[in-house]
A and B are shown apart, each in its own frame.
Chain A
Amino acid sequence: MRELTNEILELIRRTASSLPKDVEDRLRASIEKEEPGSAARGALETIMKNIELSRANSTPICQDTGTPIFYVHYPEGTSTRRLREQIRSALAEATKRSYMRPNAVDAIYDKNSGNNLGGDDFPYIHFEEVDADQPLVIELMLKGGGCENVGAQYSLPDNKLGAGRDLAGVRKVVLDAVQKAQGKGCAPGILGVSIGGDRGSSYVKSKEVLFSRMGVRNADPKLAELEERLTKEANELGIGPMGFGGQTTVLDTKITGMHRLPASYFVSVSYMCWAYRRRKMTVTGEAVEYD
């Protein structure tokens, strides 16, 4: 297996400093929806300038470089232990180069590790085996704390919201989560929603669904319809960019369904901020390609 630390370092640099084009396009398209001279429009214009500057300077789009979430699809026979080591060294080096802020704080002793490495769980790395003739694909998402903090999990039925155990109930709790988030998750946001699972798997899935591109709809027409409806209705709330008031509160919604226990019906909402940083590298033999 080849040594990939430098290539992973490059993946981290790109993810932290260069917003994916599909996200940038959505943000740009939302500017025209806001009143000229409004705080909402001003915020979006600042966001666009920031996107350009961070890409040109290789500096973080947001100073909160977030939880690094790696999804590694490795061909059968690859050493995941060595891949983990390479990911971890690349992350420490990225921190040294200021692509990443030192972000791993020991929760008991309040000590920042200084290099983004902390215990076995920071960074978060998920391994998935693929056939031996497939390329190695490493996906990275950086999810900041502001938006992570406004994420929510509901156990249905929710009597206060009148939300039962069906898609009508799911719709209600997701809208409630967006209203509660206000601008605190750095709106305009992107919603990752998972229905089912246990508390743990449900939250994980609600993040995993955020690896897909903007506008990609669930293959199930019922869920695809709810995705579009939720984006539209969330925008009726009028919270707007940064919570300044305005037309654009949510850019897209992604929903996935899971199996659940007969007794449980969880709905998890992961709120992703506008700085929706996700990138991918594909290793085929000697060739490394970035998206």
Chain B
Amino acid sequence: MREITIPISDETIRGLHVGEPVELTGIMLTGRDAVHKWMTETFIKKTREPKGDDLQVYTEIKKYIDRGVLYHCGPVVSGIDTKNYKFVAAGPTTSIREEPYQALVMQHFNLKGVIGKGGMGAKTLQGCVDTPGVYFHAVGGAATFLALTVQKVLGVYKLEEFGVPEAMWVIEVQKFPVVVTMDSHGQSKHSLLDESSHKVLDDLLARPY
């Protein structure tokens, strides 16, 4: 299987196509609903004033995700009281909820990859073409297995404000397995399957009971 190290170059991204399994190694950031909303409103659309440690967090996370990867994940983490954090269970969450934000976030932060499950829509696909970047699909529910690829938790942002599942966790992973399901050439496995399964559905609906 092809191994890719984070940060990722545009050239590597252009070489990836829908259906290809890949293993990722390097540092990534988790971020889901609260994070995408916060990023978009505070720093991209600027409809909300930065508050508290917002600006400082912004500067710090940029380092990690420039040419990097954002993982749609709300992990189970042990050691919350002692701050000796360990990822216990960390599979992907459903990505489509970030559809209103994703393309903007990819371009603003120069993200090369987004990991999640279930795929995303047309806006994000265009974001993959423009940035360029790809959508990596991880195996939903495989939380213990994926947590074991996390070698180290390097830090966490907005833990108090967003809570454990929604916080931004900085993690170092080794051989994190994914499949490319949306690429920078405008191909999406999800829209292809939606179409083909819709055709089958029409046939099934036409069958007599």
When A59-B147, A149-B94 are in contact, do A179 and B142 touch as well, CB less than 8 Å? no
**Least Cβ distance of B42 to chain A in Å?**
15
Which chain B positions have C-beta within 8 A of A233?
204
Which chain A positions have C-beta within 8 A of B117?
146, 183-184, 186, 242
Supplied contacts A172-B205, A179-B198, 4 more A-B pairs, CB within 8 Å: A63-B147, A63-B165, A101-B74, A144-B141
Q: Beta-carbon contacts of A53-89 to B below 8 Å, as 1s and 0s?
A: 1100101111111000000000000000000000000
Q: Beta-carbon contacts of B157-177 to A below 8 Å, as 1s and 0s?
A: 000000111100000000001
Which chain B positions have C-beta within 8 A of A110?
34
A105: nearest chain-B partner, CB-CB: B163
Stretch touching chain B among A38-46, A119-127, A201-209, A262-270 = A38-46
Contact of B165 among A60, A102, A162, A244 (CB under 8 A): A102
Q: How many angstroms from the CA of A111 to the CA of B196 in the assembled complex?
A: 41
Contact of B141 among A50, A111, A149, A182 (CB under 8 A): A50
Which chain A positions have C-beta within 8 A of B196?
238
Quick check: is A239 within 8 A (CB to CB) of the other chain? yes
Contact of A183 among B74, B119, B144 (CB under 8 A): B119
The contact size tier of chain B is 35 or more
B205–A175 CB distance below 8 A: yes
Quick check: is B21 within 8 A (CB to CB) of the other chain? yes
Q: How many angstroms from the CA of A46 to the CA of B141 in the assembled complex?
A: 10
Q: Beta-carbon contacts of A151-187 to B below 8 Å, as 1s and 0s?
A: 0000000000110000110011001100100111010
Q: How many angstroms from the CA of A144 to the CA of B93 in the assembled complex?
A: 10
B204–A101 CB distance below 8 A: no
Which chain B positions have C-beta within 8 A of A39?
19, 21, 179
Contact of B143 among A61, A102, A182 (CB under 8 A): A61
Quick check: is B128 within 8 A (CB to CB) of the other chain? no
Which chain A positions have C-beta within 8 A of B78?
98
Quick check: is A275 within 8 A (CB to CB) of the other chain? yes
Q: How many angstroms from the CA of A180 to the CA of B89 in the assembled complex?
A: 28
Contact of A62 among B21, B91, B165 (CB under 8 A): B91
Quick check: is A224 within 8 A (CB to CB) of the other chain? no
Which chain B positions have C-beta within 8 A of A105?
163
Q: Which of B96, B145, B177 has the most CB of A within 10 A?
A: B145
Q: Which 3 A-B pairs have the closest CB atoms?
A: A112-B163, A168-B209, A184-B118
Q: Which of B119, B148, B166, B205 has the most CB of A within 10 A?
A: B205
B91–A42 CB distance below 8 A: no
Quick check: is A138 within 8 A (CB to CB) of the other chain? no
Chain B contact residues, CB within 8 Å of chain A: 19, 21, 34, 73-78, 88-91, 93-94, 96, 117-119, 137, 139-148, 163-166, 177, 179, 181, 189-190, 193-194, 196-198, 200-201, 204-205, 209
**Least Cβ distance of B163 to chain A in Å?**
3
**Least Cβ distance of B192 to chain A in Å?**
8
Q: How many angstroms from the CA of A146 to the CA of B146 in the assembled complex?
A: 17
B204–A98 CB distance below 8 A: no
Which chain B positions have C-beta within 8 A of A214?
none
B189–A60 CB distance below 8 A: no
B189–A245 CB distance below 8 A: yes
**Least Cβ distance of B45 to chain A in Å?**
19
When A42-B179, A60-B89 are in contact, do A176 and B201 touch as well, CB less than 8 Å? yes
Which chain B positions have C-beta within 8 A of A145?
93-94
When A63-B91, A244-B179 are in contact, do A182 and B200 touch as well, CB less than 8 Å? no
A237–B194 CB distance below 8 A: no
List 12 A-B pairs, Cβ < 8 Å: A49-B142, A54-B144, A59-B147, A102-B165, A175-B205, A179-B201, A182-B118, A186-B140, A233-B204, A242-B137, A244-B179, A244-B189
B97: nearest chain-A partner, CB-CB: A149
Contacting B at CB under 8 A, from A208-260, are 233, 236-240, 242-245
When A54-B144, A63-B89 are in contact, do A112 and B164 touch as well, CB less than 8 Å? yes
Q: How many angstroms from the CA of A144 to the CA of B140 in the assembled complex?
A: 11
Contact of A239 among B90, B91, B181, B197 (CB under 8 A): B197
